[in-house]
A and B are shown apart, each in its own frame.
Chain A
Amino acid sequence: MKKLKKIFILELLLFFILSSNCYATDQQISQDEILESQQNSLNISKFIEEANKYTENVFDDISIEELFNSAITGKIDNTSIWKKIINLIGKEIVDCLNVLGSIIIIIVIHSILRSISEGLENKSISQITYYVQYILIVTLIMTNFSDIIQMVRTSIESLVGFMNSLIPILITLMLTTGNIASARSIRTYNIVHHHFYWKFHNSSINTIYTYINSTWNCVKSI
């Protein structure tokens, strides 16, 4: 109880000493002046500049200043912001839908042409036109497919490189915090180390060894 009382009295003292005074005035100051004085005192303009730098590619038609002012005065227009966010997130889906639409239209064209050329009595000629249109459709689908494969390949490569550079740090951190068992269970570092960095380490160890030898010889000769 005594400790609690001490803490309580200390807190009250701090409260009364360290508080600042604030007064109310009769003057009519407009809202914009208040906003401007707040902005200047809190260095908000710098924040707005940096925000503009980051978002000028994405939010072209929204200025951060207007957003800020409208947020302070209480009138927020959320719909355009939501649209832009959903555009960002769903960009891939929108592209996919475009490609899907074009494929469907191409297939419709193909079916129309096929129905025109199916009516001919000669089976072989109708088959030839069918196969030519089929090859065209396959080509178009393959271009989209190759784009996707390219994207997947680059992402997997970057992922693998990222993991390669991250795992040694991860293992050392785990060792320092004491999880030796889980560090030992990631033996990929062994394999990676052995496979990729063996030559590098070999050469570096060789140079270090020769350096130590030369210094030792110098010391001995002295």
Chain B
Amino acid sequence: MEDIIKIVGIGLIALIIIVIVKQYRPEFVLYISLIAGALIIMLIMNKVGAIIELLSSLSSKTALNNEFLVLLIKITGIAFLTEFTVSICKDTGETAIASKVDLGGKVLIISMSIPIIASLLETIIKILP
């Protein structure tokens, strides 16, 4: 219960500070939003680690190859980091940089998922006579 209060509190306080500081020094707004985002994510990281451990314990019970689950989690991490940077860039108005980072993230995700697609094609070819 306290975790959600912490997160909500950090968000609201950051919002208030940004509204105040924006009039005097608009350059500081970027730093404040960055810090607020970083704080909230650091608060959640422990729970995310617990979820990932649960997923890997589940996947070790079944016939699922563990490396595929690791790959999926890496892809989720890449998506999350890309999203973080893209939203920060868009907030400050730099949509060009945001779209470049976005494109880079998508390309990386696809290049990481190449083994999965390759295994799918292999399996399909095995079925065909």
Asked if chains A and B are in direct contact (CB within 8 A), the reply is yes
Chain A residues near B (Cβ < 8 Å): 98-99, 101-102, 105-106, 108-109, 112-113, 116-117, 120-122, 124-126, 128-129, 132-133, 135-136, 138-140, 142-143, 145-146, 149
Residues of B within 8 A of A99 (CB): 63
- Complex contacts, B110 vs chain A, CB 8 Å: 128
Please classify the interface of chain B as helix (H, G, I), strand (E, B), loop, or mixed, using the class held by over half of its residues.
helix
Within 8 Å CB of A109, what residues of B? 55, 58-59, 64, 69, 72
In the bound complex, residues from chain A placing their C-beta under 8 Å from that of B79 are 117, 120, 125-126, 128-129
Residue of B nearest to A129 (CB): B79
Is there contact, CB below 8 Å, between A142 and B61?
no
Query: Which residues 83-125 of B have a CB within 8 angstroms of A?
Result: 83, 86-87, 102, 105-106, 109-110, 113, 116-117, 119-120, 123-124
On whether the beta carbons of A135 and B116 are closer than 8 Å, the reply is yes
Given B48, B62, B80, B106, which contacts A120 in the complex, CB threshold below 8 Å? Answer: B80
Question: Are B102 and A122 in contact, CB atoms less than 8 angstroms apart?
Answer: yes
CB distance from B28 to the nearest CB of A (A): 23
- Whether B58 lies near A105 (C-beta < 8 A) is yes
Alpha-carbon distance between A180 and B12 when the two chains are bound, in angstroms:
94
Are A138 and B87 interface neighbours, CB within 8 A? no
- Given A105-B62, A139-B123: A129 touches B106 (CB 8 Å cut-off): no
| A132 and B116 form a contact (CB under 8 A) | yes
| B82 located at the interface, meaning its Cβ lies under 8 Å from any Cβ of chain A in the complex | yes
B: number of interface residues (CB 8 Å): 35
5 closest Cβ pairs, A-B complex: A102-B62, A120-B83, A139-B120, A132-B113, A142-B123
A133 to B105, CA, bound (A): 17
A142:B68 contact, CB within 8 angstroms: no
Take A125-B102, A132-B75 as given contacts and tell me if A146 and B109 are in contact as well, using a CB distance cutoff of 8 Å: no
- The answer on a CB contact under 8 Å between A149 and B127 is yes
Q: Taking A126-B79, A139-B119, A142-B127 as contacts, is the C-beta distance between A132 and B87 under 8 angstroms?
A: no
Indicate whether B51 reaches chain A with its CB closer than 8 angstroms. yes
Counted as pairs of residues, one from A and one from B, with CB atoms less than 8 Å apart, the total is: 92
Docked CA distance A139–B115 (Å): 11
Nearest B residue to A114 by beta-carbon distance?
B76
Bound: A149/B127 CA distance, A: 8
Chain A residues lying within 8 Å of B76, measured Cβ to Cβ, are 113, 116-117, 129
Chain A residue nearest to B83 (CB atoms) is: A120
* Extra 9 A-B pairs, beta carbons < 8 Å, given A102-B64, A125-B109, A139-B120: A99-B63, A122-B86, A124-B106, A125-B79, A125-B82, A128-B109, A136-B68, A138-B120, A146-B126
Asked if residues B62 and A101 are in contact (CB atoms below 8 Å), the reply is yes
A128 touching B106, Cβ below 8 Å: yes
In the bound complex, CA of A117 to CA of B79 (Å): 7
Nearest CB in chain B: distance from A96 CB, A: 13
Shortest Cβ distance from A83 into chain B, in angstroms? 24
- Bound form: Cα–Cα A39–B87 in Å: 87
